[in-house]
């Protein structure tokens, strides 16, 4: 039977073999992932739905690959003399895609273990920095590299052997039958590519059904997921693409009302959220130092109920203004930088640190402080071009970039750059020099030791885990380095004139069986310095509230476009809220409930208590606030409002 079909379809038979073999590969991969995540699949009651919807997604992407090939091979089917010229092109085209599908499926488990998602935008963004990423992979993921490389070799051999054996140069059918077969195959691939008879082709939102984001991701295949991410990177479309449209006037009305700025006047139409903010500190201007901690979620902080890895930070939390209910806006460092430095709301697009329109004339603390006569500085142990940080910083207020290549001394250099101890030593030197002048300074100090592959100097800490290179040990080393620095800072010439904040950029390995795993967005934050009284602040606080607060404490008044609260002032309970972007899902949480927005789906409202979600009737007003805040970020970026 197969031999007869092979002779009937001729060159197009190879496309059919590619389609069937790759569909089998993707289905088997999905089934193995589901078995691995059986507990979560059972909880979602989704075995059949994931498999069926997954085959629709697979059919869609395979149809797109097959369609172009069909258009070429049709020439060979109709004009037989051209078939031998088409063969090498077809063999390369189909083999390359088979290898891509196989490779991305093989690396998927490792990616899920790290991000609880299939390869997506993060995977693409890492490819932009091969030097840093290759060093990280070689240091900590040699087995994964071996498996991935072996997959490339094996998949290439299998593809070439299979497709060569199935090549049929000529069809034995009549010209009329060949024409009909081509028409039917093209029609089927067009239908398969859409995988829907509705007005829109299939997309991730159409097949999503679970409140567990990973289950919805298992429906996809990793090539589709990466392709969808690439499409999003190219477009960087507004949040309205995902969550529905909202007029500019309504967005501005909602976000202004949600702020805690009574009697605010908005006079600048080019910056419609910009209004005058009066600092609570009316004395001399203070220096500001942000100690941004890499991947330090609350679960690693003993003082927040986490593992006993941070004795030094725990002590600092008792000495300063300690935020116990602080939430990050996202899961990437550039998202944390965007929020802490600019007070900018998260969006489903890339961070503004990376986007083209925000490389100049975009509001940051550094820009505001430089205008007030400050020396604004960024200190980082790696290379500052990573994640486009250097370009964004220099274009928006920073005048001094001190990265690893500029360090005076490095005792231990890891894949991501100088160790945190070396970083803090350099920072201390910089601050001592700056304190000798009469110019106040602002410095963003960004750590990196608590990052995979978790490299740090030996003999510095008593290991928490027996295996040295673990996340827990790296977190403990990062705390050790922080503690050493703060001891020196307290005895320094700059201590009495400086406000410090120790805050995380995000948690590590954000995962969980929910649309937005909120418990992994909780992070530590504490403000320290001369005149900062020890206190515990249990208000619901967002990353975006920190910039207005630091500027207020430093005595900086002026027109600013930020939506965050100045925490030196009373914030009514009904005004307290946090915003979290998790891949394409957005959560807006108050003290009472949380509303989650998903692409092209109706909003959902939940009660969030004791790390558990309970479905509630939709809170329409909260959903409106959620949509306004996430859409604001896109509009502010696109229209140049945030300056």
Give the 3-state secondary structure of 125-183: HHHCCHHHHHHHHHHHCHHHHHHHHHHHHHHHHHHHHHHHHCCCCCCCCCHHHHHHHHH
* Segment 324-374, tens digit of pLDDT: 999 999 999 999 999 999 999 999 998 999 888 899 999 999 999 999 999
* pLDDT value, residue 76: 56
Q: What is the pTM of this model?
A: 0.84
* Segment 200-215, tens digit of pLDDT: 788 887 888 888 889 9
* Segment 515-564, tens digit of pLDDT: 999 999 999 999 999 999 999 999 999 999 999 999 999 999 999 999 99
- Domains (range + CATH), the chain: 2-232 (no CATH), 276-572 (3.40.720.10)
Element (H, E) at 269: none
Phi, psi torsion values for 182, nearest 5 degrees: -65, -45
Indicate the pLDDT class of residue 235, thresholds 50, 70 and 90: low
User: Burial code of 60-93, b = ≥16 C-beta within 10 A, e = fewer?
Assistant: bbbbbbbbebbeebbbbbeebeebeebbeebbeb
| pLDDT at 565 exceeding the cut of 90 | yes
| Contact in structure between 355 and 637 (CB atoms under 8 Å) | yes
Indicate the pLDDT class of residue 2, thresholds 50, 70 and 90: low
- DSSP state at residue 540: -
C-alpha distance from residue 605 to each of 2, 40, 259 (Å): 53, 21, 22
Q: Which of 122-126, 129-133, 288-292, 417-421 has the lowest mean pLDDT?
A: 129-133
User: Burial code of 524-554, b = ≥16 C-beta within 10 A, e = fewer?
Assistant: bbbbbbeebeeeeeebbbbbbbbbbbbbbbb
| Contact in structure between 613 and 606 (CB atoms under 8 Å) | yes
* Segment 456-483, tens digit of pLDDT: 999 999 999 999 999 999 999 999 999 9
* Segment 586-604, tens digit of pLDDT: 999 999 999 999 998 999 9
**CA-to-CA distance for 561 and 636, rounded, in angstroms?**
10
* pLDDT value, residue 82: 64
Whole-number mean pLDDT of the chain?
Answer: 92
The residue whose two tokens read 């028409």 is: 183
Three-class DSSP category at 351: coil
User: Burial code of 363-380, b = ≥16 C-beta within 10 A, e = fewer?
Assistant: bbbbbbbbebebbbbbbb
Which two structure tokens, joined as six digits, stand for 508? Answer: 């590590």
CB hemisphere CA count around 150 (13 angstroms)? 7
* pLDDT value, residue 196: 80
**Facing residues of 590 across strands?**
577
* pLDDT value, residue 406: 95
The mean pLDDT value for 29-33 works out to 97
């Amino acid at each position: 039977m197969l031999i007869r079909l092979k002779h009937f379809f001729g060159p197009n038979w190879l496309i059919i073999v590619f389609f069937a073999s790759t569909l089998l590969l993707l289905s088997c991969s999905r089934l193995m992932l589901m078995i691995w995540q059986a507990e979560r699949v059972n909880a979602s009651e989704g075995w059949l739905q994931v498999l069926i919807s997954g085959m629709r997604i697979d059919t869609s992407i395979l149809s797109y690959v097959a369609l172009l090939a069909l258009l070429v091979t049709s020439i060979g089917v109709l004009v037989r003399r051209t078939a031998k010229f088409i063969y090498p092109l077809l063999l390369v085209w189909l083999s390359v895609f088979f290898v891509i599908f196989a490779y991305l499926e093989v690396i998927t488990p490792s990616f899920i273990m790290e991000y609880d998602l299939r390869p997506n935008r993060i995977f693409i963004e890492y490819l932009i920095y091969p030097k840093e990423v290759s060093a990280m992979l070689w240091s900590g993921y040699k087995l994964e590299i071996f498996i991935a490389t072996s997959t490339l070799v094996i998949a290439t051999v299998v593809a070439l052997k299979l497709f060569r054996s199935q090549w049929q140069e000529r069809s034995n059918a009549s010209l009329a039958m060949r024409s009909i077969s081509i028409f039917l195959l093209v029609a089927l691939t067009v239908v398969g590519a859409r995988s829907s008879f509705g007005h829109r082709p299939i997309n991730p939102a159409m097949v999503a059904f679970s409140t567990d984001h990973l289950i919805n991701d298992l429906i996809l295949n990793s090539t589709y997921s990466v392709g969808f991410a690439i499409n999003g990177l190219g477009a960087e479309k507004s949040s309205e693409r995902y969550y529905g449209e909202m007029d500019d006037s309504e967005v501005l009305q909602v976000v202004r009302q949600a702020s805690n700025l009574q009697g605010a006047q908005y006079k600048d139409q080019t910056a419609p959220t910009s209004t005058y903010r009066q600092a609570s500190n009316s004395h001399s201007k203070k220096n500001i130092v942000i100690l941004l901690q890499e991947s330090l979620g609350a679960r690693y902080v003993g003082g927040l109920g986490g593992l006993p890895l941070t004795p030094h930070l725990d002590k600092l939390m008792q000495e300063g203004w300690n935020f116990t209910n602080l939430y990050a806006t996202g899961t990437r460092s550039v998202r944390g930088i965007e929020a802490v430095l600019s007070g900018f709301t998260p969006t489903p697009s890339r961070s503004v640190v990376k986007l083209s329109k925000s490389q100049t004339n975009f509001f940051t603390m550094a820009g505001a402080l430089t205008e007030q006569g400050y020396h604004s500085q960024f200190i980082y142990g790696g290379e500052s071009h990573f994640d486009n940080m250097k370009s964004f910083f220099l274009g928006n207020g920073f005048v001094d970039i001190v990265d690893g290549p500029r360090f005076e001394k490095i005792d231990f250099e890891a894949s991501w750059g100088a160790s945190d101890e070396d970083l803090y030593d350099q920072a201390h030197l910089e601050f001592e020099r700056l304190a000798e002048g009469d110019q106040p300074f602002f410095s963003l100090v960004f750590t990196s030791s608590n990052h995979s592959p978790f490299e740090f100097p030996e003999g510095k800490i008593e290991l928490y885990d027996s295996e040295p290179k673990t996340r827990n040990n790296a977190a403990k080393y990062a705390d050790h380095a922080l503690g050493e620095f703060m001891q020196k800072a307290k005895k320094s010439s700059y201590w009495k004139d400086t406000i410090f904040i120790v805050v995380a950029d995000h948690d590590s390995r954000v995962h969980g069986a929910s649309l937005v795993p909120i418990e992994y967005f909780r992070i530590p934050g504490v403000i320290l310095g001369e005149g900062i009284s020890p206190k515990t602040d249990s208000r619901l606080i967002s990353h975006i509230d920190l910039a207005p607060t630091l500027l207020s404490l430093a005595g900086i008044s002026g027109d600013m476009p930020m939506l965050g609260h100045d925490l030196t002032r009373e914030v009514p309970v009904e005004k307290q809220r946090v915003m979290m972007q998790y891949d394409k899902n957005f959560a807006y949480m108050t003290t009472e409930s949380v509303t989650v927005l998903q692409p092209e789906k109706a909003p959902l409202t939940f009660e969030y208590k004791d790390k558990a979600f309970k479905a509630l009737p939709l809170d329409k007003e909260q959903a409106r606030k959620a949509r306004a805040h996430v859409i604001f970020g896109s509009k502010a970026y696109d229209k140049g409002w945030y300056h």
